[in-house]
Amino acid sequence: MVKEFSISTSRQTEMIEITSSVVSAISSSGVKNGTALVYVPHTTAAVTINENADPSVKRDIIYELNKIIPFSDNYTHAEGNSAAHIKASIIGESITVVISGGKPLLGTWQGIFFCEFDGPRRRKFLVRIAKSEQ
């Protein structure tokens, strides 16, 4: 089962928590044990798992990424968004989460985040649920 979600970003670079969307996809699938693959089909966006309790963590991640990969730095890509492509490549386009008892196995402070690096835009992400054989 694959479920597609739409998301609107509001800033050039931001992290938006999508844990509830992934939980919804798992719940509607009826799968009790398996995996959820979260995939972002964009070259200037990504997905990651990180702390969701303290919002300053998101700000710190974005701040450091923007510091080590500046928006302007003698890039040659004609579109002018090379920094976004680099950030997306570093973070990655997918994550896999184990499903147990019909819920994602995330740590106490973990959440799933859509990472925008070339916004604002209308984006999408996909969640593929696979049932475990056991």
The helix/strand/coil state of 107 is coil
Residue with tokens 């979600």: 5
Distance, in Å, from the CA atom of 18 to the CA atom of 125, rounded to the nearest integer, reads 10
Q: How many domains does the chain have?
A: 1
Range(s) of the domain holding residue 48: 2-131
Distance, in Å, from the CA atom of 119 to the CA atom of 44, rounded to the nearest integer, reads 9
pTM for the structure as a whole: 0.96
> What is the model's pLDDT at position 80?
87
Q: Which residues of the chain have pLDDT under 50?
A: none
Distance, in Å, from the CA atom of 19 to the CA atom of 72, rounded to the nearest integer, reads 32
> What is the model's pLDDT at position 134?
66
The answer to whether the peptide bond before residue 104 is cis (omega within 30 degrees of 0) is: no
With a CB cutoff of 8 Å and minimum separation 6, the contacts of 59 are none
- What are 77's two structure tokens? 């890509």
For residue range 5-19, what is the model confidence (pLDDT) as tens digits?
999 999 999 999 999
CATH code of the domain containing 99: 2.60.120.460
Helix-strand-coil split of the chain, %, nearest 5: 25, 40, 35
> What is the model's pLDDT at position 122?
98
